[in-house]
Structure formats: C-alpha cells, structure tokens
C-alpha cells in the first residue's frame, strides 16, 4: 500500500511541475496537470500488472 501512496505523491508532484511550465492560460495548465497525473498513475498500474506475471 505504501508504494501506491508514493506513486500518487510522485505523480502529483511531477504533474504540478509539468503544469507550471506549460504554456497557456490557467485552464489549459490545469487540464494538462490532471491529464499528466492520470497518465502517470494509469501507465504505472498497467506496467505493474504486466510485471506481476513475469517470473523473476
């Protein structure tokens, strides 16, 4: 569970930074931040699901 919280914290932090450096008005920055947050979380969960089935 703690890894998921770290993932969320990292995604929030990085999304805020990416949104801050995006060109455009405040609405466009907010949309980009939410979109990048969703992409970070969904791609990370998809990769974790794929890696679960790889025998190490």
Rounded alpha-carbon distances, angstroms, from residue 16 to 7, 39, 56: 14, 13, 35
Domain ranges (residues) in the chain: 25-50
DSSP state of 55: -
CA Rg value for the chain: 14
- CA distance linking residue 4 with residue 38, whole number of Å: 14
**pLDDT, tens digit, for every residue of 5-50?**
999 999 999 999 999 999 999 999 999 999 999 999 999 999 999 9
Q: What is the pLDDT of residue 1?
A: 86
């Amino acid at each position: 569970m703690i890894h998921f919280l770290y993932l969320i914290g990292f995604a929030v932090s990085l999304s805020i930074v990416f949104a801050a450096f995006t060109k455009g008005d405040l609405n466009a920055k907010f949309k980009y931040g939410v979109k990048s947050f969703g992409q970070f979380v969904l791609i990370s969960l998809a990769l974790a699901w794929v890696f679960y089935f790889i025998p190490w």
